[in-house]
Amino acid sequence: MTKSEEIFKRAKKVIPGGVNSPVRAFGSVGETPRMICQADGAYLTDEDGFRYLDFVCSWGPMILGHNHPAIYEAVVKACEKGLSYGAATRREVEMAELICSSVPNIEMIRMVNSGTEAVMSAIRAARGYTGRSKIIKFTGCYHGHSDALLVQAGSGVMTAGIPDSAGVPEGCTKDTLSAVYNDLSSVERLFEAFPEEIAALIVEPVGANMGVVPPEKGFLEGLRLLCSKFGAVLIFDEVITGFRLGFTGAQGFFQVDADLVTYGKIIGAGMPVGAYGGKREIMECVAPLGPVYQAGTLSGNPVAMAAGLAQLTILKEHPELYRELNEKGEWFYGEIRRIVERSEIPAVVNSCGSLGCIFFTKEPVRDYESAKRSDTSRYAAYFSHMLSHGIYLAPSQFEAMFLSAVHTREELAGVLELAGEFFIP
């Protein structure tokens, strides 16, 4: 028995499913989770001493690689001054100033502790601002695990085949309307059915929790027009795309303006952070300025802010990092596409910048229904092949693959070779 197996056995006795977040149980890929004890650069090391080239990157935030020296130093220095104050600090102001001065449409921002919290709070702000109750989300998009959003969500619920979570009373989801990703007419129908009741529409500008599903031309622009026409708040959930597609996230990448934006762990360089921000008139509804209540002792935590500020400062000062990362993504996923095209295994490769995903189906994947057609047992076989050669992919078909600035072309060429062995044996 490996140490990972031994620890997982103990874990299952005291933690539901042995894990603190379902996808990492490796259930859908039929493997035992590797117990990670260290991470450096582009690599993870497990308790048995095996090293893996990491394509999860803590689900995105490690865009500069693990244990980046400047971030490490910022965190250590912050720790020396205490771990949590539950009080206002200069650093959280610097963080807000940095984001508000560089990202379009973010005039005010509030720090929270996770993407889930950011989205839940943004929706509350949108409802408070509009005085309306209904929201539109897309099937297969995941916006964290708050009650109102666990409706045909992506990510772990999709992996586990739980379209609607138990424990969520009907009352909590009765105002959540679902539309089809990349299908503007499905959104239009909802707006026409409830022209004055929809407070907000929330979307992952690149679907990245049903595998990767980029927006088709005109989709995000169409959502913008519909929200403006019907007076609804357009929320971009940029927990994955924010500061990844570019410093200005999906708003900048696709040149579409949102009213509110939500962020996750990337703004804490991997520490537990989230944030929501946007138009001043909406954010001014938030307490203590306005009547929409939202609070948190750990919000703007000094250590998390130090880590996040260090990472965002580097990203802002080095725009070439994004150019290189996106070019690397285009090349890498393009090469996988070429391998797949020569293979007899039915598969398609979706990608956007440094995000990518292989679906094991012949048909194009453009929404939740087409994503679900992927042969997940094939994905599991591919995952195991890669893992056995030291490549750590997302342990689920319905997640994204993340590249970082420190994945080298040589390392990626090695991954292409391994993919070739699987697809063209």
Give me the active site residues, please: 142, 237, 265
Which residue, among 372, 382, 384, has the nearest Cα to 180 in the 3D structure? 372
Among 59, 181, 230, 392, binds ligand HOZ (CB under 6 A): 59
Helix axes 409-423, 376-388, angle to 10 degrees: 130
* Tokens found for residue 9: 């056995």
- Report how many residues bind ligand HOZ under the rule CB under 6 A: 8
From the CB of 145, what's the least distance to ligand HOZ, in Å?
A: 9
CB of 291 to ligand HOZ, least distance (A): 32
Beta strands in 49-104 (DSSP E): 51-54
Crossing angle (nearest 10°) for helices 184-193 and 219-230? 10
Report the candidate in 238, 242, 222, 219 with the shortest Cα–Cα distance to residue 230.
222
Q: Is 34 in the site for ligand HOZ (CB under 6 A)?
A: no
Single residue of 28, 105, 114, 209 touching ligand HOZ by CB under 6 A: 209
Is 398 one of the binding residues for ligand HOZ (CB under 6 A)? no
How far apart CA 324 and CA 367 sit, in angstroms, is: 29
Work out which of 61, 128, 140, 156 binds ligand HOZ, going by CB under 6 A.
Answer: 156
Q: CB 144 → ligand HOZ: shortest distance, Å?
A: 9
Rounded Cα–Cα distance for residues 145 and 326 (Å): 30
Binding of ligand HOZ at residue 26 (CB under 6 A)? no
Residue type, 65: G
Rounded Cα–Cα distance for residues 356 and 403 (Å): 9
Q: Which stretch binds ligand HOZ (CB under 6 A): 21-29, 36-44, 46-54, 343-351?
A: 21-29
Share of the chain residues as helix, strand and coil, in percent rounded to the nearest 5: 45, 15, 40
Identify the residue among 8, 24, 61, 122 touching ligand HOZ (CB under 6 A): 24
Task: Report which residue's Cβ sits closest to ligand HOZ.
Answer: 21
The 162-201 site mask, x for binding ligand HOZ (CB under 6 A), equals ----------------------------------------
CB of 16 to ligand HOZ, least distance (A): 13
Which residues are CB-neighbours of 48 under 8 A, at least 6 positions away?
2, 3, 4, 34
Is residue 212 within 8 Å of 171, Cβ to Cβ?
no
Query: For ligand HOZ, which residue of 4, 28, 155, 397 counts as binding (CB under 6 A)?
Result: 155
**21 forms part of the interface with ligand HOZ (CB under 6 A):** yes
Q: Decide: is 399 part of the binding site for ligand HOZ (CB under 6 A).
A: yes
Would you say 155 or 251 has its CB closer to ligand HOZ?
155
Q: How far is the CB of 59 from ligand HOZ (least distance, A)?
A: 5
For residues 18 and 6, the answer to whether their CB atoms sit within 8 Å is no
Instruction: Indicate the residue among 259 and 399 with the shorter CB distance to ligand HOZ.
Output: 399
Whether omega for the bond prior to residue 288 falls within 30 degrees of 0, making it cis, is yes
Identity of the residue, 24 or 224, whose beta carbon is nearer to ligand HOZ in the bound complex: 24
340 neighbors 347 (Cβ within 8 angstroms): yes
Could you list the residues that contact ligand HOZ (CB under 6 A)? 21, 23-24, 59, 155-156, 209, 399
